[in-house]
Amino acid sequence: MRLTLIAAQSLDGFITRHDTPGSNFASAEDRRFFREALRSFDCCVMGAVTYRTARDTIRASLMPDRLRVVITRSPEKYASDVISGKLEFACTPPAQLVADLRQRGCQYCAILGGSQIHSLFLEAGLIDELWLTIEPQLFGEGTPLLARRAAAKLTLLSSQNLAPNTLLLKYRVEK
Amino acid sequence: MRLTLIAAQSLDGFITRHDTPGSNFASAEDRRFFREALRSFDCCVMGAVTYRTARDTIRASLMPDRLRVVITRSPEKYASDVISGKLEFACTPPAQLVADLRQRGCQYCAILGGSQIHSLFLEAGLIDELWLTIEPQLFGEGTPLLARRAAAKLTLLSSQNLAPNTLLLKYRVEK
């Protein structure tokens, strides 16, 4: 299974603008790219904070054959949100979760944040590619792309403009 | 006078790799670009930490008609390092320093870090352009591009490869 981390950040590496949760700072072009990109993944994984921030949007856009898994220490709290095969909650460690998804026939998994989830999967050596939208802003403060120290080397696969001032950079994570 | 902030960072926005001072993580191609780019500036400004980290290199590459100003709270500590017109030390606030440099005939000023100096000049509304090298690495920790919260909007002027995996992004800072 291939895992791709997809995120939008300010030029200086923040996935939120200061203390404001979510990625509302991202351009319309990035949101369109993100919606379309997700169609090429048969599953995606996010943390509970990301889920709670975007809960209504996520629940309104569930699709058959596209499993969304929310990682949380307390899956039982979300029992009433579960829609089996579409929206599930788990406290499974990354490698075990990937093995489970593979066994269920998933081939392409998008890792959708936040920074704790990014670090968790990167540290486990499970991220194959990073698709990062660079918005033309400097925040100086906010949630960083990664929650903890890392030492990952990347190979640039492509660089394209999503909008005149917005870049989409795709990298392979070296293993 | 035009002020250009020039820096190299990891993809996730750090200008040092973890606790290691300086930009030794930057590629040979970035170092070459940086040396050549500096030739088109008649002055540059850096903080005392940046100066102390690169003191030998800086003192070995001084040139006539290229003034380097180190901003420090204690210029008197560096009295023996002063080479008038080439290497000077000042505790002047940004706007006053820019006025002084303009009066001395300087037209193009490079702002060379670190993060405190970046924030100081950005907050004063003095940065015209940002030339940022994006190295293909994730650090998760280190010195951030900016020392403090900011809310700067940018216009992308150009994007080019310095090396297969290293991008140079040039932005205009909107005022």
What pLDDT digit, counting tens, does each position of B54-70 carry? Answer: 999 999 999 988 999 99
Taking the C-alpha atoms of residue A150 and residue B140, their distance in angstroms, rounded to an integer, is: 5
pLDDT tens for each residue of A133-145: 999 999 999 999 9
Residue A34's pLDDT is what? 97
Chain A hits for B10, CB-CB cut-off 8 Å, are 13
Contact B1, B106 (CB under 8 A): yes
Query: pLDDT band for position A122 (50/70/90)?
Result: very high
Interface test with A, best of B19, B115, B121, B138 (most A CBs within 10 A): B138
* Token reading at A146: 């990664």
pLDDT tens for each residue of B20-43: 999 999 999 999 999 999 999 999
Min distance B109 CA to chain A CA atoms (Å): 21
- Judged by CB atoms closer than 8 Å, whether chains meet at A148 and B140 is answered as yes
Query: pLDDT band for position A90 (50/70/90)?
Result: very high
- Judged by CB atoms closer than 8 Å, whether chains meet at B141 and A149 is answered as yes
Among residues A172, A138, A167, the alpha carbon closest in space to that of B136 is found at A172
* Token reading at B158: 């150009």
Contact A166, A30 (CB under 8 A): yes
Place of tokens 């029992």: A79
Residue B135's pLDDT is what? 98
Give the residue on B whose Cα is nearest the Cα of A133: B11
Contact A6, A111 (CB under 8 A): yes
Q: Is A79 on the interface with B (CB under 8 A)?
A: no
Interface test with B, best of A5, A9, A11 (most B CBs within 10 A): A11
Of A139, A153, A165, the CB nearest to B137: A153
Taking the C-alpha atoms of residue B173 and residue B71, their distance in angstroms, rounded to an integer, is: 22
Residue B72's pLDDT is what? 98
Give the residue on A whose Cα is nearest the Cα of B122: A138
Residue B105 falls in which region: left (phi positive, over 0), alpha (psi -120 to 50) or beta: left
pLDDT tens for each residue of B63-111: 988 999 999 999 999 999 999 999 999 999 999 999 999 999 999 999 9
